[in-house]
Amino acid sequence: MHSSTALALYLLAVVTVAAIGGHRPAILAALAAPLLTNWFLIKPLHTWRIHDGQDVISLAVFVAVGVIVSSFVSEAARRASDAERARQEAEVLAGLAGTGGADPLQSITEHLRASFALDTVAVLRSNATGEFTVEASAGSPPLSHPDQATFCAPIDDGVTVALTGGPLTDDDHRVLRAFIQQLSKALLQSRLAATAARADLLDQAESLRTAMLRAVSHDLRTPLANIKASVSSLRQTDVDWPVATRNDFLETIEGETDRLTGVVTNLLDLSRLQAGVLRPTVRSIALEEVVPSALYSLGQRADAVELMLPDGIVDVAADPALLERVVANLVDNAIKFSPIGQCVTVRAEQQGNSVILGIVDHGPGISVGDRVKVIQPFHRLGDTGSGGGLGLGLAIADGLTVAMGGRLELRDTIGGGLTALITLPGVEPT
């Protein structure tokens, strides 16, 4: 083989080594190739002597070309590798920028584990006693202490990110710092959200307390004043009241006492609902057992109610006592706003696996924009502040229905008025 052909082949080998192994192996190959060519191909063979000056020039040119080409090839390969790594980092950072959702801390933790193919990532918070609680975790086995991790980094005061898995390069640590910054922002966001939630709860509590004091100041004082006046009149010894008048006084006392009992019962129900301590006893119950009892509790006012419970309707899953309260509140509200001479209809129908109980009136109705407001505590239709009650009937009916796993909807009545629909799950007969 001619020496120039051999040098060309060796040059190809040098370029290949540069592309695969990098700059240093390529330089070694560029220096080793002329020596091997001289030993095996240039006469005299198997000696380091060179008789022809042309061969010396060829070898020198080869070394120079080999070094230059290997440098360019290795530099191109390095830049291609850097570009690929930059692309991967850009993808990771772009994914990190889009991380969010309901729980950004957990989302970032999962994204960190997936980006570096780690076994486990955990965000740990230490307390005053040195114990750690897990704020967010992804992967397995779970981490509960920084000592169990192969790498840890502080995020915030008392908060640490702990990692287990493969080793991290210097470039990985640069991207990891971006993750740590995002974790710090997520922790700050979580604290701000918790503070905002507490402030919102305090604002709601303050609004509720103000509304309660405003409403109760009238609805407690008025019946108490009427009872006090009636009792004081009956206790007068210098007046001989006729029997009819005495009965009127007694009827006033009884009616105002019932009114006070209703106010106190509604307030207690509201407090139980808002405290989350209401525990319904849900069982299979027939509407024929509950609805008539609810109407009976309304006394003579229920005379204007038309009851339509068709045969064949399945039982419902509900708490009998709570369902009776819901029906009584809704029917009482419908009677209160119905014109004189107009009856209120209570009807039931079955739709699929659900039973819908409707309370239909032909009163003024409620506009669509006000339907959310009227099921809030202490909001009365028109909110005039007159003796129309505390505005708890619909709020309690809605809360009790939801507590039983049902749904309350307010819709327009055909021809005018309001229809309250109680949807409860049906119970198929066994």
Q: What pLDDT, on a 0 to 100 scale, did the predictor assign at position 425? A: 92
Q: In which residue are the tokens 């230490």 written? A: 126
Digit-coded pLDDT (tens) for 114-139 = 777 788 888 888 887 888 888 888 88
Give me the amino acid identity at 80: A
Q: Is there a domain that residue 210 lies in?
A: yes
How many structural domains are present in the chain?
4
Rounded Cα distance, 92 and 111, in Å: 9
Final residue before a domain boundary, out of 172, 198, 224:
198
* Average pLDDT of span 247-261: 87
Final residue before a domain boundary, out of 220, 241, 275:
275
CA–chain centroid gap for 101, Å, is 9
| Residues 188 and 208 occupy one common structural domain | no
| Residues 51 and 134 occupy one common structural domain | no
Q: Is there a domain that residue 99 lies in?
A: no
Q: What pLDDT, on a 0 to 100 scale, did the predictor assign at position 108? A: 81
| Residues 337 and 382 occupy one common structural domain | yes
pLDDT value at 215 more than 70: no
* CATH assignment of the domain containing 269: 1.10.287.130
Highest mean pLDDT among 68-77, 250-259, 380-389: 250-259
330: left (phi over 0), alpha (psi -120 to 50) or beta: alpha
Final residue before a domain boundary, out of 275, 303, 336:
275
Of residues 313 and 386, which shows the higher confidence score?
A: 313
Q: What pLDDT, on a 0 to 100 scale, did the predictor assign at position 261? A: 82
Q: Give this prediction's pTM.
A: 0.47
Digit-coded pLDDT (tens) for 299-355 = 888 888 999 998 888 999 998 988 988 898 889 888 888 888 889 999 999 998 899
Digit-coded pLDDT (tens) for 171-190 = 777 777 877 887 888 788 77
> CA–CA distance from 104 to each of 108, 140, 389 (Å)?
6, 20, 45
| Residues 243 and 142 occupy one common structural domain | no
**Which pLDDT band holds residue 207 (cuts at 50, 70, 90)?**
low
Of residues 271 and 357, which shows the higher confidence score?
A: 357
CB atoms within 10 A of CB 268: 10
| Averaged confidence pLDDT in the chain | 78
* CATH assignment of the domain containing 367: 3.30.565.10
b/e 397-424 (16+ beta carbons within 10 angstroms → b):
bbbbbebbebebebbebeeebbbbbbbb
CB-based contacts of 117, cutoff 8 Å, min separation 6:
165, 166
| Residues 242 and 169 occupy one common structural domain | no
E strands within 114-158?
120-126, 132-139, 151-156
SS3 content of the chain, % helix, strand, coil (to 5): 55, 15, 25
The closest of 36, 189, 162 to 99, measured between CA atoms, is: 189
Range of the domain at 360: 283-427
